[in-house]
Homo-oligomer: A and B are copies of this chain.
Amino acid sequence: MKILSVVETAIYVDDLDAAEDFYQRILGLEVIASEADRHVFFRVGESNVLLAFNPRTTCTGDTLPHHGASGAGHFALGIESTSLDDWRRHLEANSISIETEMEWPAGGKSIYFRDPAGNSVELITPGVWQLPSGW
């Protein structure tokens, strides 16, 4: 009886089309499900799903429990250390401003930028959390 991983992470966005364009075209995530005015879901690697919801729809609930937040959310996506410079160039080439860069005391680096809804997205390299998987 053990929790093995975070499978799904949710963010809330005011414009699902803008979110789909950003996460699919700029970040390269595959869309695996969508429903007009409600959600677009993306597969992330081999183990995770990013859920982008319109909170005006999900806050009322339906067959599933209600949820939905306002304000900037935050999450971190794992990348290889060797790809960080390429990611920085790719984001800048697509007019995505890097808001902050961090080099963590225990190892690993992060770059932070915003999605179109204002959520704080972090790309992070292995080392920070000393996770057994690296990732």
Contacts and interface: CB of A to CB of B under 8 A. Distances in A.
Interface of A: 1-10, 12, 27-29, 32, 43-51, 53, 55, 58-59, 63-80, 83, 86-87, 90, 99-100, 102, 112, 114, 119-120, 122-124, 128-129, 131-133, 135
12 contacts: A1-B86, A2-B83, A5-B44, A5-B135, A8-B76, A12-B69, A47-B132, A65-B74, A65-B99, A67-B119, A68-B72, A73-B73
Contacts of A4: 44-45, 77-80, 135
Contact of A69 (B71, B80, B112): B71
Contacts of A102: 63-64
B32 A3 contact: no
Contacts of A87: 1
A39 to B, nearest CB: 11
A65 B119 CA distance: 10
Contact of A1 (B45, B83, B100, B119): B83
Contacts of A53: 74
Nearest to A102: B64
